[in-house]
Structures are given as C-alpha cells and as structure tokens.
A and B are shown apart, each in its own frame.
Chain A
C-alpha cells in the first residue's frame, strides 16, 4: 500500500513528457505483449493437437494399408486346405528326415511353388509342420528340409494353438539358410485342423521379408526427428524404417489407438506418440515425434512474430517519445520563460504559433507579462512619487517648530504692533504649513482641502490686494467628499501665476465644485491671457503620455494629474479648456467617495 502510494507519488512527480511516454508504453507494450503470448500459446496448443490428430490419421491409414497386405498373406496360409495331399502328408506318422516319395516331392514342391508364385515376391520361406512328425521346410537359398521337429516351447506355437485356426503373427526374427546366410523375416503361422475329427493336423508358417512392410512405412513422409515403427504385443520391435539407425525408444505399453504426450525420460526427448494397434496382426504401429522438432516451425513463427512486434513497438515508442516531447515542448518553453519572469526579467514574449490550448496559454502569458510589467512600472512610479512627496515634506519640515515658533513670534509682535495683515498672514502661513506637513494621511475631506486653499488665498490676497478676486461656489454636499490632499492649491497657484502674474490689472479666480452621479467635479477658472491652441495641445499631450514626474521644478498641474491617475486610475484627472485672452479653465474630476 505504502509502496503503491509512493509509486503514485513518484509518477505524479514525473515530467509531463515522461508521463506521456510511460502511459503510452503501458498502453502499447502490455496489450501487444499479452496478446502475443496468448496467441502463441494457444497456437502452440492447437498445433500440437492438430499434429497429433494428423499423426494418428496417418498411421491409421498406414496400418490399414499394412493390414490389407497382411490379409493377403493371411489368405495364403489357408491354401493347404485346398490340397488333400498336403493335409494327408501332415497327418501322417513320420520320422524326422524320413525320405519323401517322388510323388510327395512333386506335391509338396508344387504346393510351395504355388505359394511362392501366387504370393508376394517377398515370401522368403514356407514351412509345414505335422503334429505327428511330418515337416517340409523351405528356407531362402536352400533346398527343402524334412528333418525339423516342432519345438513345443515356441511362443508362436502356444499362441497359434489357442486361436481356433486364426493366424498369429510372429515378430521379426532371423532365419538361416543352408549356406549360412541369415535373413530377417517376420512370419505368419496358422494352425491347420481336420474338419472330420476336429483335431489339429499341423501348422503352416510363411516367412516374409519385412522389406515390403518397411516399404509401406517408408512411403510416409516423416517430420524431422519423427520415427515410425511397428512393435508386437510385448513391445518388441517388428519393423522399423531403414533411415533410422537406432532402435527408437519404446514408450511403454501401447494398445488400442490414441495420441499420447510423453515427457522426457531416459534419453527419450519429450514427444508426441501416436499409436494404432492392428486388429489383424495385433501389432502396434507407433509414430514418435519429438515435441522440440514439432515446435521448431512454430518457434520460427514465434521469433519472427516477436521480431515484428518488437519492431513495431519500438517504432511506436519512438513516435511516442517524439510526440511527447513535441507536445510538451511549448510547455517547457513557457515554464522556462516563467522562471525568467520569476527572476524579474519581464522583457520576454512567448511565440504563439497556434490557437490550441498551448497557443492560448501563451497568449495569456504574454498579456500577463505585459500587464505585469506595466503594473510594476506604476508601482514603481507611485513609490517614487511618495518618496518625492515625503522628501519634499521632509525638506519643508526642516525645523518646523522653529518655523512655527518664529511665525508665532511674528504674529504676536504684529498683534502688539497692531498690524492685522501680518497677523493674518502669519497665522494662515502657519496653518498652511501645518496642513502641508501634517498631511501624511492619504485622504482628507474636500472641506479640509478648501480650508487650506482659503488660507493660501488669504495670504495671496494680502499680497495682491485689490488686483485679485476669488470666488468659491461649492455645493454643500460635495464638501464631505474624500480627496487626496494638496491637489487643489497647486491649481489655484497655477491660475494666479498664469492668469494674474503675466496679465495686467485685476483677475478673477473662480473655484466651483459639484457632485453629480458619483463624480466630484472641481473647476478652477481664471480670466488671464489663456493659451494658444498649440500650447494647449502641448500640455494635453504631456498629460497623456509623459511619465515624467514633473520633478521638483516641473509643472504642478502635471504632478496633480499624475497623482490622481495613480490614485484613482482612468478616466479621472485634469482637463483643460482655454482660448487666447479668455483665461484657462482646469477641470478636475474625482470619484465622489465619502
């Protein structure tokens, strides 16, 4: 369980391409391999079964052929019944070696000649035995012999006696001609009986060259390593093929017919044994095929199958690896780019080639990166501006207490002197300083801001006297709105600078404010020399494009505009309207927040 879980974890942690390869490998190799193994094993079983059936059929046919031949021989052993002289000769009391009369010689020789001539060419010998000592034995290369006596212990004789006249077949043995040559023969023996007495008269034995039967065996095309032979009831070899040098091993008792799978034992390889026992001879035709030889062809099939499978699986895996890497290649590239972004490098772009998921992901990535870089810039700018404001504040904070005290002292002295203007100016200046320096807080109400503007204007009024008029028309409900500090005074200052300082005579500064539909609108108008279209356009484009902070010496308007943009974003900020010699109207829009 633990291992399984760790395996799953291991798999989960693999690269995507590896996962794909592994999964495809499992999907391709496992089914094909399993199919191959299954196909081959069922093929092998079917083959063994078929070969066994075919083998059995072959030897059934073979046994039938041999039986036909044996029946022919069998009929020959009946021929003594057609010759009374032969039956008489065999029934007679005779001493071994007792000479034959010329007539007997004639009859016996004629009888044997008929068997030789009418029978098959492979008849090697004919023997007649009487129960009472008669015999007439003709062996190959030899003259007849009458001196043989029945060997009562002979196995075939015992067998022939119990068969009620049925023939018995005698396993291949050797007979020796008078000139000393030995011949391999198998024999067929039959008990001859008298119909009248029912007693046994004697026996006829016909010796046959096994070559003919071997010839029948030889006609069968053997599989490689196959051996085919005939054994008798005791498992002794009767006939085997010429091309088999060694007597093949005998796989135990085989009677009847069937196919048997014999495991390797005692020098005999694992084999398929088919056998059929002939009803005529009682001999069993056996065919032994080593399984190894049988399966040689199928093993060839297996190797070629394996070769083809390995080839195709290899090919599939190759393609698989290729596609896996190809599919995950953009992802890996993306991940590399991400890492760069992670390290702060934002000047990267993912080449989008298609509109698939990866392409879309790439597009999104590109957008994200560009947004990120923009956002980063804005953040950076805000921070700088804040710092600037703070620095500026710090600069003006230089010894503020000293300044307050000084202003307090001036105001007191002016009070003692009775100069109201100085008192007013000193108090206003002191208030302005306090507002400016204490405005660490980010937001103030419009009311506070206007108080600051009024303080400023009070000073300027004293400075300019009758030349300046200041009108303030603010909706009551707009006064509660929250605004950024120090945004109105710079514009009023600008209006005085541009509207009055450059002009001659008196000037009007008008500050209007209203709140409508969630938007706080403040307008500062002057009636100064105004601006030409070119000047207006220049200042507008600076507002739109420049990221220039305006600097310390920079335009106060620009500064305010940027601060509003940074703080509230588009579309808030300043707008300008002017005509030459008609004054300048600066409109400030802010969200109405309470």
Chain B
C-alpha cells in the first residue's frame, strides 16, 4: 500500500484539530467595553438655580450624539464651588474642564492656573469671531482667549401676572406698568402689597447671600458717574462715594420698608411657589419657572431707575485648568465638547441665559423661545464686576457687610465705609 495518502490524512486531521483550537481562542479575545475607548472628561459645574437640569440634559445629549468623548459632570453648589476648584487646582486634582464665571477669570488666569485656548481652539476650528463682542471681551487677557464663553446672564425682573393684574399694574401686552424712578418703583411695589395676600412678598429678595449686592451694583451703575470700584492701580476701594450710597440707600429702603419681607432665604422658591409678586434675579430662572405648574409669569429687563440702563451680569465660560497629564488628545476632546456647547446655545438658552454666539441669538430656535427675546438686549448693557484678581474676595466682603445691613445691624453709610476699609485691607494682603 502507498503510505503517502495515510500521512496526508493524519496531517489534515491534526491541522483540523489545531485549527479548531485556534478559532475558539479567537472568539474569546475581543471583549472590551464601549466606554473604554472614549476619552473621559471630568466636568465641574456650579449651577444651583434651575439651570443645572438643562446643563445635565446637554451633557447627556452630547454623550449620546458621539462616542469618542464621554463627559462626566459633577455639580456643586455655587457657595462652595470656587473654594473647591481652587483647592483642586492647587492640589493637582483639577477637573479637565470647568465652568468659570467671567468675573472669576482674573484669579485663574494669574499664575497660569488655566490654559490659553488660542491653539486648541484653532485645532477644532472654533472661530472666536462668532461670539458677542461684549461677552468675548470678558474672556480675553493680553489678546489671548482663556475661556470659551457659553452665555451672558444678568439680573432681570420676573413678575407674577396674576398678582400684577390684581393690582391693575399690567398693560395690554402683559407688561408691568411702572414709572422708572425710585418713587415710581416703590409705589409700584406698594400697590402690589395692597392687592396681594399678606403672605405674598411684593418683591422677593433673600436677606443673605449675593442678591442684594447684585441689585446694588446694577443701580450704582445706572447712576451718572457711578460704577467706580477700585482706584486706577486697583489697590484701593473707591466705592465709598455718593452714587454708591444713593443706590445702597434705595436697596436698604426696600428691605427696611418690608416691601422686601425680612428673613427671606429662598426667594427663588417663593416666586416658584407663587409666594412672591416680583422677583429680581438672574435670567437662569426662566426655564425652571416655565416648569412651575401653577405659575403665570412674565419677565422684563431690570427697570432703569436712574440715568442709564445698566445691570449686573456675568458670563459662564468653560476653562481648562492647567494640570499634569493633560494630553493634546484630551485637550482636543475638551475643545470639541466646548464647541458643541456653544453651537447648541439655543438649548442652553432654554435655561434662561442669553447664548454667547451671535448666530444663535439671531437664530430662529432662540427667538422662538418665549420670554428670552424680552431680555436678550440686556446682554448689551451688562456691567461685569471689575476685572481684578481679588474680585472674588472683595465681593465676599460686600456680601457679608450687606447681610448685616439687611439684618439691621448697620446703616448703608456704615456698610460702605466698613466694606471699603475691609476691601483695602484685603487688597493689601
């Protein structure tokens, strides 16, 4: 018998057996999770109005629409946010991308705490000229953009249509009938006070925290010659002046006359629950109020009580903290996310903010939103806090002193004097 076919048979059987093993090994190999390939981006936010749910929705939508980048959002309350962020940066644990208020940028731009975004923006094709000029100005330092502006937000005046109409203070287009002057505003609130139940605040403003400071800064800037904060060197406070006092006295009068009831903690919730006729707060409340089931409200820009329109405002922007281990790949992923965020400004506008991109503000989607167009123009006369590296601390000083005033522990004059002295001391440190 010829032996060759037998060998061929043996070899082919062995080969088949080996091939069988090989294929089973192949099948076992590829089992990797999907998120394993995506670049994970830590994202910190300080939203504590109604706007956080909108931010969360946007992040979720971004994560859904693409699979290369996975953004993980961590929200803290604004009260603790900057302490936390500063500690994180100093301890090398900074997030990959964080929300920063334009007001706070100077302290982060100093010492290179956040990255210059000129080059990374160019890489993902983010054109800086698409932003509103006023907003863009707030993020450029020495000609370099250090943050991607998301929005402008400023104080606006929300009003409960039910109560205003009961007081006969609504015109045919459902706008409040209001004489824009100190007396006019006071009598507006008095007429409301007379028309509403005693547990409803004519004007709701918290006695604590920053709200009264914002109102004062807005009114101070409406006055001719107002708005001065530091001297030219930025080493001394200049806010103990007649204009500042006039504005502050007016704010104090609103509290003292109980047109703003005492001991208010959560004014936002009061208006949301229908326990306030008028609320002066940031425009970020719009989206949340729209979701309030029993609330029929309107919103207008803050009335110009004095000489020129002016209102406190700030801007949310995205910054990239400088840290060890940041790669170009990750930086690109962050900028892709930032670009997506500004291009989807109309979604962010649902929270109530005015988007940073001119195209979005002019676009149909934004203008189709109720209320927003009523205050979109506000962005043009927003008064930011002065650009100063200690601004965060000096504002904290103002808050503490204003709280004392609101609780009747000191007069407006004393408040300004003490605040100026404390700020001077703070600046010298």
- A99-B262, A315-B9 known; A143+B206 contact, CB < 8 A: yes
Cβ of A102 under 8 Å from chain B: yes
Tell me the chain A residues, 133-148 only, with Cβ under 8 Å from chain B. Answer: 138, 140-146
Q: A102-B208, A300-B28, A304-B17 are in contact. List 11 more A-B contacts (CB 8 A).
A: A113-B79, A122-B74, A145-B265, A178-B266, A179-B49, A179-B53, A179-B268, A180-B288, A243-B33, A308-B21, A312-B17
Which among A100, A117, A312 has the greatest number of chain B C-beta atoms within 10 A?
A: A117
Which one of B325-333, B362-370, B401-409 is at the interface?
Answer: B401-409
Given contact pairs A143-B265, A307-B17, A311-B16, A224 touches B24 in the complex (Cβ within 8 A): no
Distance in angstroms between the alpha carbons of A170 and B9 in the assembled complex = 69
Which of the 9-residue segments B80-88, B138-146, B244-252 touches chain A?
B80-88
**B272 adjacent to A179 (CB under 8 Å):** yes
Contacting pair B50 A179 (CB below 8 A)? yes
Q: Which 8 A-B pairs have the closest CB atoms?
A: A99-B263, A143-B266, A179-B50, A300-B24, A102-B407, A178-B269, A179-B288, A308-B17
Cβ-based interface call for B119 (8 A): no
A443 to chain B, nearest CB (A): 61
Give A residues with C-beta under 8 Å from B. 99-102, 105, 109, 113, 116-117, 121-122, 138, 140-146, 178-181, 224, 243, 297, 300-301, 303-304, 307-308, 311-312, 314-315, 318-319, 322, 326
User: Once the chains are docked, how many angstroms separate the CA of A122 from the CA of B42?
Assistant: 13
Contact A142 B13, beta carbon cutoff 8 Å = no
- Please judge, given known A-B contacts A102-B404, A105-B208, A113-B80, whether A300 and B27 are in contact too, CB under 8 Å: yes
Note all chain A residues with C-beta closer than 8 A to B24.
300-301, 303-304
B contact residues around A297 at 8 Å (CB): 28
CB of B14 within 8 Å of the partner chain: yes
Complex CA gap A142/B292 in Å reads: 15
Give residues of chain B (340-391) contacting chain A, Cβ–Cβ below 8 Å: none
User: Is B47's CB within 8 Å of the partner chain A?
Assistant: yes
A117 to B82, CA, bound (A): 10
Residues of B within 8 A of A (CB): 1, 6, 9-10, 13-14, 16-17, 20-21, 24, 27-28, 31, 33, 47-50, 52-53, 74-77, 79-80, 83-84, 87, 206-208, 262-263, 265-266, 268-269, 272, 288, 291-292, 403-404, 407, 409
Whether B48 and A142, one on each chain, are in contact in the complex, defined by CB atoms closer than 8 angstroms, is yes
A102-B409, A113-B80, A179-B49 are contacts. A311–B14 as well, Cβ < 8 Å? yes
CB closest chain-A residue, reference B266 = A143
Given the interface pairs A100-B263, A116-B76, the reply to whether A143 lies near B269 with Cβ below 8 Å is yes
For B48, the chain A residues whose CB sits under 8 A away are 140-142
> In the complex, what residue of chain A is closest to B22 when comparing beta carbons?
A304
Roughly how many angstroms separate A142 CA and B404 CA in the complex, as a whole number?
A: 23
Residues of A within 8 A of B1 (CB): 322, 326
Whether B266 and A145, one on each chain, are in contact in the complex, defined by CB atoms closer than 8 angstroms, is yes
Q: How far is the CA of A530 from the CA of B427 in the complex (A)?
A: 171
The answer to whether A121 and B76 touch across the interface, beta carbons within 8 angstroms, is yes
Give A315 to B11 CA distance when docked, in angstroms: 10
Q: Which residues of B contact A300 (CB under 8 A)?
A: 24, 27-28
Q: How near does chain A come to B265, taking the closest CB pair, in angstroms?
A: 5
A100 to B207, CA, bound (A): 11
**Minimal beta-carbon separation of B206 from chain A (angstroms):** 7
Q: Name the A residues within 8 Å of B6 (CB-CB).
A: 319, 322
What residues on A are CB-neighbors of B409 within 8 Å?
102
Q: Which residue of B lies closest to A315 (CB)?
A: B13
**B49 contact from A141, A224, A304, Cβ within 8 A:** A141
Cα distance A297–B75 in the bound complex, in angstroms = 43
A102 to chain B, nearest CB (A): 4
Question: Does the CB pair B265–A144 fall under 8 Å?
Answer: yes
* Residue with the highest number of chain B CB atoms closer than 10 Å, among A315, A319, A322, A326: A315
Residues of B near A243 (CB, < 8 A) are 33
Query: What is the CA–CA distance of A458 and B1 in the complex, to the nearest angstrom?
Result: 79
Q: List 21 A-B residue pairs with CB atoms under 8 Å apart, sorted by A's residue number.
A: A99-B262, A102-B207, A116-B84, A121-B74, A141-B47, A141-B52, A141-B53, A142-B266, A143-B268, A143-B269, A145-B265, A179-B268, A180-B50, A180-B53, A180-B292, A181-B52, A224-B31, A297-B28, A301-B24, A303-B24, A308-B20
Measured CB to CB, the nearest residue on chain A to B34 is A243
Provide the bound-state CA to CA distance between A122 and B72, in Å. Answer: 12
Selected contact of A178 from candidates B27, B31, B262, B272, CB within 8 Å: B272
Measured CB to CB, the closest approach of chain A to B58, in angstroms, equals 14
Contact: A142 with B269, CB < 8 Å? yes
**CB of B295 to closest CB in A, whole Å:** 12
Chain B: which residue is nearest A99 at the CB level?
A: B263
Q: Which residues of A contact B291 (CB under 8 A)?
A: 179-180
Q: How far is the CA of A144 from the CA of B16 in the complex (A)?
A: 73
Is the pair B80, A117 in contact by a Cβ cutoff of 8 Å? yes
In the assembled complex, which residues on chain B have CB atoms less than 8 Å from the CB atom of A143?
206, 265-266, 268-269
A contact residues around B47 at 8 Å (CB): 141
Give min CB distance, B52 to chain A, whole Å.
5
Interchain nearest-CB distance for A305 vs B (Å): 9
Cβ-closest chain A residue relative to B74? A121
Q: CB-CB < 8 A to A319: which residues of B?
A: 6
User: Are B208 and A146 touching (Cβ within 8 A)?
Assistant: no
Complex CA gap A138/B76 in Å reads 12
A116 adjacent to B208 (CB under 8 Å): no
The answer to whether A178 touches B268 (Cβ under 8 A) is yes
Chain B residues within an 8 Å CB radius of A102: 207-208, 403-404, 407, 409
- In the complex the two chains form, is A304's CB within 8 Å of B13's CB? no
B407 close to A314 (CB less than 8 A): no
Q: Pick from A99, A145, A318: contact of B9, CB below 8 A.
A: A318
Inter-chain CA distance A181–B351, complex, in Å, is 13
Q: Are A121 and B84 in contact (CB under 8 A)?
A: yes
- The answer to whether B83 touches A117 (Cβ under 8 A) is yes
Chain B residue with the shortest CB-CB distance to A307: B20
Considering the complex, give the chain B residue whose CB is closest to the CB of A123.
B76
Contact of A311 with B13 in the complex, beta carbons under 8 Å: yes
Give the CA-CA distance A319 to B3 in the complex, in Å. 11
